[in-house]
Amino acid sequence: AILSLMEATSAVSLVVLSRDQYKLVENFLEGKEVYKVDADEVLKDAKLNFVKGIVEKYSGCSGEASSRLAQSIVREFSDNYAVVAVLAADWLAKGECRVEEVVNAIRQSEKKVEDFVLSYMWFGLLGDS
């Protein structure tokens, strides 16, 4: 009776993956019934407001500086943007809310969080130019 009940029912799973994680398992999902939802499409302005909130909280900067930095982060990073936001906010705070250097580092990282982390360590922490 249990076996026939298991055969009659189907299981549904919800799995949340970043784009990088999805790329790793994409080939295993071939032939399976998978419904993908792009969180960026669903969240839209909420993502920008979330990142701006992180920047303001961790940097103490508000207004144009936090808005510009949040827009830059959201535009350049689809994954790991919260990590970038915290590090960028710390860098912004150390730079007394001067946003240009941080925005340039985000742009130069070419959407690679590892490159931004290296820039943060070199310029944001060590203050080297």
Segment 57-85, tens digit of pLDDT: 999 999 999 999 999 999 999 888 899 99
Query: Using an 8 Å Cβ cutoff, are 109 and 115 in contact?
Result: yes
Query: Using an 8 Å Cβ cutoff, are 90 and 123 in contact?
Result: no
Confidence (pTM): 0.69
Each residue of 97-106: pLDDT tens digit?
Answer: 999 999 999 9
Q: What angle do CA 115, 121, 125 make, to 5 degrees?
A: 150
User: Can you read off the two tokens belonging to residue 38?
Assistant: 């792009």
Q: For the chain, what is the mean pLDDT?
A: 84
